[in-house]
Amino acid sequence: MRILIIEDEERLRRVIELHLSAEQHDVVGAATAEAALGQLENVDLVLTDLKMPGMDGLTLLEKIHKESPQLPVIVMTAFGNVETAVEAMKRGAADFLQKPFSLAHLSTVVGKALEMRRLKVENERLRQELETRSGFGNLIGHSAGMREVFRLIEKVAPSRATVLLCGESGVGKDMVARAIHYHSPRRTQPLVKINCGALPENLMESELFGYEKGAFTGATVAKPGKFEQADQGTVFLDEIGDVPLPVQVKLLRVLQEREFERLGSNRTRKLDVRVVAATNVDLRAALEGGRFREDLYYRLNVMPINIPPLRERLEDVPALAGHFLERFGEGRYRFSVAALEKLLGHRWPGNVRELENVIERSVLLASGELLGAEDIRLEMGPRGRAGGGEGLFLPAGMTLDEYEQSILREALKRASGNKSQAARLLGITRNALRYRLSQMGLEDKEGEG
Ligand SMILES: Nc1ncnc2c1ncn2[C@@H]1O[C@H](COP(=O)(O)OP(=O)(O)OP(=O)(O)O)[C@@H](O)[C@H]1O
Ligand SMILES: [Mg+2]
């Protein structure tokens, strides 16, 4: 394993380097944090001094965490400087060494951190393997709605039946599509996803069905389309409602006859694919508006699976939230009852994806390992706003105090910490802002400005 050592005092750095090299580690050294940042690739462990000319160790720690959150960092602190060591641990350091330390102690601390690293990498590998093998294991939910989804997945997976997944954005359609593929006999064959909404009309046809050399200007070599790539496997047509009418005709033919031609060719090709399509719009409305072909609709709608929005299965929220907390917080955090109540009070217009984002942000900004209601940072955009359209109101689950706090923080952030400017943004005086901040105990944390 590769260890990066950052220490401005050359002699000490050399001693550490020699010692760890002698223990069969691959060791690289840097005299400054700036130099170290360019050397992070393939590194398994970082050992850094805290006080250095230029960027200090705490700042470096933060940068490393941003870039490679899984990379363990051990900090070396001067004797008697307990507070910085504590601060470093709070900010995610794996361990600390107080100078002067013995080489034996160095070996122990480094060995422990590397062992943790090895376990984490191994865990991640197993998790990914499991996920690609089953794709089911990560689908969480025990609400009646989700149990019905699971039942249908199991039922349709073994066959070649076309499946239409319907549900709002962020409910988990991608995940369900993968679960179907990985539970089907086609699991060892390709699963090819086509995002119909992202493709401009003129590109879609060549993307789906491929083309021959010379089919159009720029077609210098022949290229197979996504359907061909997915032969024997599954095609996942995402946002099927966005397919333009001319392409719909060709899709219909693939679904009906399992045949197609590449652009610029009249050779008919046969193929064996299973089609899973997804939509977050009501296709029936598109039918009536003449934007979707009726015959294609009925072909697709053989086996519809509706994935209910999260607000209609709030009982899934705790398990999902716990799952994301485990993932983003690496098992270090817990929810308080108040935090869970706040999560349950929200309407989740962005569904599971929104919940995932909220938990990720909450972990990033958490003040401690037990998350309180104030640590749950709900989305504040127009989509996250609560209330049934009766004008301006608090985001669901937030108290007035929490809301005020988040507005004050945001104003300070926008003003880069400058209180006079933040006060202007809020339309209050600087003194009024200071008073509110001190009332909330935010005064010293935000610093002077
Ligand atoms: N039941 C679930 N268990 C665990 N994670 C889930 C579940 N449902 C959704 N997620 C997670 O939520 C996020 C959004 O899910 P996904 O991308 O499948 O939604 P989608 O319905 O395809 O959204 P869109 O319509 O925007 O494409 C993903 O990160 C996914 O991992
Ligand atoms: Mg999707």
What pLDDT, on a 0 to 100 scale, did the predictor assign at position 289?
Answer: 87
- Asked whether 319 lines ligand 1 (CB < 6 A), one says no
Answer with the one of 72, 106, 130 that is the final residue of a domain.
130
Report the alpha-carbon distance of residue 148 to residue 154 in Å, rounded: 10
- Asked whether 140 lines ligand 1 (CB < 6 A), one says yes
Are 162 and 291 contained in the same domain?
Answer: yes
Question: What is the value of pTM for the model shown?
Answer: 0.60
Task: Residue 408: give its domain's CATH number.
Answer: 1.10.8.60
Mutate to test the pocket of ligand 1, among 150, 166, 305, 352 (most ligand atoms within 8 A of CB): 352
Answer with the one of 308, 338, 365 that is the final residue of a domain.
308
Are 22 and 164 contained in the same domain?
Answer: no
Amino acid at 14: R
Are 272 and 358 contained in the same domain?
Answer: no
Are 98 and 203 contained in the same domain?
Answer: no
Report the alpha-carbon distance of residue 397 to residue 378 in Å, rounded: 9
Residue 174 lies in a domain: yes
Report the alpha-carbon distance of residue 372 to residue 234 in Å, rounded: 44
Residue 421 lies in a domain: yes
Report the alpha-carbon distance of residue 146 to residue 144 in Å, rounded: 6
Which residue has its alpha carbon closest to ligand 1 atom 8? 172
Are 169 and 301 contained in the same domain?
Answer: yes
Structure tokens at 418: 């400058």
Report the alpha-carbon distance of residue 397 to residue 341 in Å, rounded: 8
Q: Structural domain of residue 246, as residue ranges?
A: 144-308
* Full pLDDT tens readout for the chain, 449 residues: 899 999 999 999 999 999 999 999 999 999 999 999 989 988 999 999 999 999 999 999 999 988 888 899 999 988 778 888 889 999 999 999 999 999 999 999 999 999 988 888 888 777 666 655 444 667 899 899 999 999 999 999 999 999 999 999 999 999 999 999 988 999 888 999 999 987 887 789 999 999 999 888 888 898 999 999 999 999 999 999 999 998 999 999 999 999 999 999 999 999 999 999 999 988 888 888 888 999 999 999 999 999 999 999 999 999 999 999 999 998 899 999 999 999 999 999 999 999 999 999 999 888 899 999 999 988 765 444 443 334 567 776 677 888 888 888 888 888 888 898 888 888 888 888 888 888 887 765 444 44
Taken in order 18, 20, 22, 28, the sign of the CA dihedral is negative
CB 59 within 8 Å of CB 75: no
Which residue has its alpha carbon closest to ligand 1 atom 24? 169
Neighbours of 121 (CB within 10 A): 13
Question: What b/e string do you get for 195-231 counting C-beta neighbours within 10 Å, with b at 16 or more?
Answer: ebeebeeeebbbbbbbbbeebeeeeeeebebbbbebb
* Angle subtended by helix axes 317-329 and 337-345, to nearest 10: 120
What pLDDT, on a 0 to 100 scale, did the predictor assign at position 447?
Answer: 44
Are 288 and 316 contained in the same domain?
Answer: no
- Asked whether 145 lines ligand 1 (CB < 6 A), one says no
Are 317 and 439 contained in the same domain?
Answer: yes
Are 348 and 419 contained in the same domain?
Answer: yes
Q: Ligand 2 (ion): which residues have CB within 5 A? A: 173-174
Atom number in ligand 1 closest to CA 238: 27
Residue 135 lies in a domain: no
- Asked whether 281 lines ligand 1 (CB < 6 A), one says no
Residue 345 lies in a domain: yes
Task: Residue 33: give its domain's CATH number.
Answer: 3.40.50.2300
Ligand 1 centre from 354 Cα, in Å? 9
- Asked whether 131 lines ligand 1 (CB < 6 A), one says no
Which residue has its alpha carbon closest to ligand 1 atom 12? 353
Report the alpha-carbon distance of residue 447 to residue 435 in Å, rounded: 14
Are 163 and 290 contained in the same domain?
Answer: yes
Ligand 1 centre from 219 Cα, in Å? 36
Task: Residue 178: give its domain's CATH number.
Answer: 3.40.50.300
Report the alpha-carbon distance of residue 104 to residue 108 in Å, rounded: 6
Residue 244 lies in a domain: yes
Are 339 and 300 contained in the same domain?
Answer: no
* CA neighbor of 230 nearest in space, from 273, 187, 185: 273
Answer with the one of 308, 336, 353 that is the final residue of a domain.
308
* Number of domains making up the chain: 3
- Asked whether 168 lines ligand 1 (CB < 6 A), one says no
263 DSSP assignment: B
Are 150 and 103 contained in the same domain?
Answer: no
Which residue has its alpha carbon closest to ligand 1 atom 26? 169
What pLDDT, on a 0 to 100 scale, did the predictor assign at position 394?
Answer: 73
Are 341 and 303 contained in the same domain?
Answer: no
Residue 137 lies in a domain: no
Which residue has its alpha carbon closest to ligand 1 atom 5? 139
Ligand 1 centre from 70 Cα, in Å? 23
Mutate to test the pocket of ligand 1, among 175, 181, 325 (most ligand atoms within 8 A of CB): 175
Residue 321 lies in a domain: yes
Strands 163-166 and 26-30: unpaired
Residue 204 lies in a domain: yes
